[in-house]
Structures are given as C-alpha cells and as structure tokens.
Amino acid sequence: MNFGVDSGIYPLGSCTMKYNPKVNEALANLDEVRWVHPDQDESEIQGILEIMYKLASWLAEITGTHAVSLQPAAGAQGELTGVLIIRAYHKLNGELGRRDEIIVPDSAHGTNPASASMAGFKVVVIPSGEDGCVDVEALKEAVSERTAGLMLTNPNTLGIFEEDILEIADIVHEAGGLLYYDGANLNAILGKARPGDMGFDIVHVNLHKTFSTPHGGGGPGAGPVGVKEHLEGFLPVPVVSFDGERYYLNYDLPNSIGRVRSTLGNVGVLVRAFAYILSMGPQGLERAAEVAVLNSNYLARRLSEIRGFTLPYGEKPRKHEFVLSCSVLKSETGVTAKHVAKRLLDYGVHAPTIYFPPIVKEALMIEPTETEPVESLDRLVEAFRSVSEEAYSRPEKVLGSPYNTSVGLVDEVKASSPRTLCITWKMYKDRLRTSERGSR
C-alpha cells in the first residue's frame, strides 16, 4: 500500500525526491555513528567530529560561503537561523530599530515570509515580472533604509534562473541589506554556480533534498547554514573546528545567535549527506544537476503539449523543475489541478505538488530529479495524457478519483474541520461536557 521513491517517479516539485542510495543508510546506521554522544569526551568522538568538520567545509565550497553551521534541522529552520543572523548583524551595527523589513518575491515558498516574520521583521512582497523573475524595477522601489535583507531562491520556484541576480545583489547591498539564499533549489546548479558567487551572504541547504536523504511526511531533515566571512561570528554554537591536531566543539564565536538545535544537529542525516557527497565526487554532483535539468526540460516540453495543460511564463528553458497550469483544462472540463493529482495516483505514479507557487493558477509543480530514467518520465507523460483524455471525454470519472488506491476520495474539508474531528483530549472532554449538558 505504500509508495516511495524506490517504487516509481515522485515528481513532487520543490521537494527534490531523488533516489536515496542504500549505502548511505548502512553508513548512518553503523554503531560508531549511532552510539556516540556529543557529551562524551572529545577524544572519544574524533571520528564523528571529523565527518562533521569535513561535511561543513564541503558545503562551504559547494555554496561559495566561508563557514557553515550544521545545526538547523530543516530548510525552514535554516531560514529562521539566517534571518536571526541578519537581525543580529543589524543589531550589532546599531541599525536594528530602523531596518525592520525583509523583501520577499511573490513566488517565494511560504516559509520565507514566515521565517522573516518569526524573527520580528515586516515582510515586503515584490511582484514577479512577465518572465517569472524578480521585477528589478519593483525591487528598486521596495528597497530603502528600512531594508534588512532579501530572501530569494535561484532558480526560483518556477524553475527559472534569476539572470539579474548580480544586479539584484548590488541593489540590496547598496541599500545596506543582506541577501539570503533559500537553498531548496540547489539541485539545479550543483557544481555549476554558487550562491556565494552570486552575491548571497547567507545560504541554507536542504540536505534531505539535494544530498539524498529519505524525507517526506515530516522528516527527518537538515538545513545547514553557510555564511560569508563577515558573518562567521554570528553562527549558532558550537561549530566543529580543527586546530591542526584534533577536532573540537568551538563555542568561541563572539556574536553567535546561540544554539538553534542539539549540539551537532541531525547527525544521521548529516552522515548520509557526507556519504552521498563522497560517493558522487565533484563531477558526480555536477552531472546530477545536468541530468536533473535535462529531465525537467524533457518533461516540460512533452507535458505542455498535452491538451488542457500549458507552461506559463514563456518557453525559456527551465532548471530542475517547472510549473504547468491546467487552467484551460479546468475551464473546458471542470477538472482542476487537485482532480488531476488524484487521478494520477490511479495510474501508479505519485502526484506533483499542486497550487504552488501561488502566482500560477491551477499549478502543477513538477520536479523529476536526475534519478529517474527516461522510461519513467514517459510513464508520467502517458498518465497525464490519459487523465487529459478522460477529462475531455468522461470528466465525472476524473472528478470522483482515485479508485485504485487503498483510500478513495477523502472529504478534505471534513478532515480539517475541528467540528467533526476530535484531535485532542481537551476537545474530547469539552465535547463530552456539551453533549452531557444537551442530554440533560
């Protein structure tokens, strides 16, 4: 009854559900990894500290940053760590009161504005241009002496590379702000381009996406954060350092934002990422990005030729993912992105991400990753074609799907309504009290 990336294509856009080599699991499960504890004497845990130190330095090299904290447990926590660093930086410069705005494009993942606002900033949303990229004129109007920073992912959530990134970085830096890179889309540019070279000051990496850790359903993950040299002193503590002879937990960072998670972070995930990078090597990582982009463009072309589906924001090549719209299908047949996603399950493939990014109507966001062979991409195309044909001939069939899954069409409104479901003990007792009162 289960479906995973080992069973077939899992084209969940923005999630990079690539195949996870089993050797990484075996290594993360070695006793020498599982049974060490950060409170042991450092002389006893030199091995794991060495792994952490090397992983952090490889991630710094890959992202073009100077120093990396491995602590954050997810992309979203990496973002929060990053904006807390932005906050601490402006505070140290005596500008925090004045710099209270973080700029975010309207194509951003919801965690970006959420993280900025959790760190106490106001969120300023700027529109995307007709090409799907940041509207540079709108950015110029939005920056001011109140700008604390900009959060951006590149390629963006439409899978389009922000070609004006150097100009964007200059605009933000000239206004006194910092640039934050949301690394969810790093798989597209691995070994090809580095956020640090694009002008970003702070970068997070979703190890569970790009560096092949099984994820979904809530974890586990890791969202290490890299910073340029001028921000190194703000990283969470401890970081793992090396004095030429031994590895040690370094708490000596003058302006550290403090600890954001347990000492070393999510060690099992970190070891998997270490093993993955080691086994791929620099050429392997670069090749992964190339094939991910090739797969994505192959699918973008073939799927956008199917009746009812279009590729908004032009024909420009996409990077590792792309966003289809089925607005035409909806207006001509009544079948929406949600229905397409449900019916695809009946054809034995996983559904794509839907209704994200919000700037595309009836969005289906597709990321095949580099680990799917062409046969598997073709299978997805055939599934989409069948759904389209059905939508035009027997729409009611699609509207009632799925049929071949262990659970049929669920009532989503009912599932999310506190009136129907009783999900806490307190709710149960309250309800019991009300019904007792009613029967009295």
Binding interface with ligand PLP (CB under 6 A): 14-15, 74-76, 109, 111, 153, 157, 182, 184, 206, 221, 223
In terms of Cα–Cα distance, which of 138, 115, 136, 137 is closest to 125?
Answer: 138
Instruction: State the DSSP string of 129-188.
Output: -TTSSB-HHHHHHH-STTEEEEEE-SS-TTS---TTHHHHHHHHHHTT-EEEE-GGGGGG
Instruction: State the DSSP string of 389-401.
Output: HHHHH-HHHHHT-
72 or 402: CB nearest ligand PLP: 72
> Shortest approach of ligand PLP to residue 151 CB, angstroms?
9
What number of other Cβ atoms are within 10 A of residue 166's Cβ?
12
> Shortest approach of ligand PLP to residue 82 CB, angstroms?
11
76 or 285: CB nearest ligand PLP: 76
220 or 395: CB nearest ligand PLP: 220
Q: Cα–Cα distance between 316 and 296 in angstroms, integer? A: 12
Q: Cα–Cα distance between 25 and 36 in angstroms, integer? A: 17
The amino acid at residue 124 is V
219 or 348: CB nearest ligand PLP: 219
79 or 201: CB nearest ligand PLP: 79
Q: Cα–Cα distance between 327 and 312 in angstroms, integer? A: 10
> Shortest approach of ligand PLP to residue 63 CB, angstroms?
15
74 or 172: CB nearest ligand PLP: 74
> Shortest approach of ligand PLP to residue 158 CB, angstroms?
11
* Preceding amide of 402 cis, omega within 30: yes
159 or 196: CB nearest ligand PLP: 159
Q: Cα–Cα distance between 337 and 329 in angstroms, integer? A: 9
The amino acid at residue 90 is H
> Shortest approach of ligand PLP to residue 13 CB, angstroms?
8
- Could you tell me the maximum CA-CA distance found in the chain, to the nearest angstrom? 78
H or E segment to which residue 111 belongs: helix 111-118
- The gap between the terminal CA atoms of the chain, to the nearest Å, is 46
DSSP alpha helix (H) spans, 305-405: 327-333, 337-346, 374-393, 395-399
Q: Cα–Cα distance between 368 and 13 in angstroms, integer? A: 8
Residue nearest to ligand PLP (CB): 75
Name the phi and psi angles at 122, rounded to 5. Answer: -85, 145
> Shortest approach of ligand PLP to residue 97 CB, angstroms?
28
> Residue 121 is encoded by which pair of tokens?
């900033």
> Shortest approach of ligand PLP to residue 45 CB, angstroms?
27
> Shortest approach of ligand PLP to residue 195 CB, angstroms?
13
65 or 353: CB nearest ligand PLP: 353
14 or 20: CB nearest ligand PLP: 14
Find how far residue 152's CA is from the centre of its chain: 12
Q: Cα–Cα distance between 59 and 69 in angstroms, integer? A: 10
- The answer to whether residues 131 and 160 touch, using CB atoms and an 8 Å cutoff, is yes
Residues in the chain: 440
79 or 101: CB nearest ligand PLP: 79
Strands 247-250 and 67-69: unpaired
Q: Is the dihedral of CA 356, 360, 363, 369 positive or negative?
A: negative
> Shortest approach of ligand PLP to residue 208 CB, angstroms?
6
> Shortest approach of ligand PLP to residue 201 CB, angstroms?
17
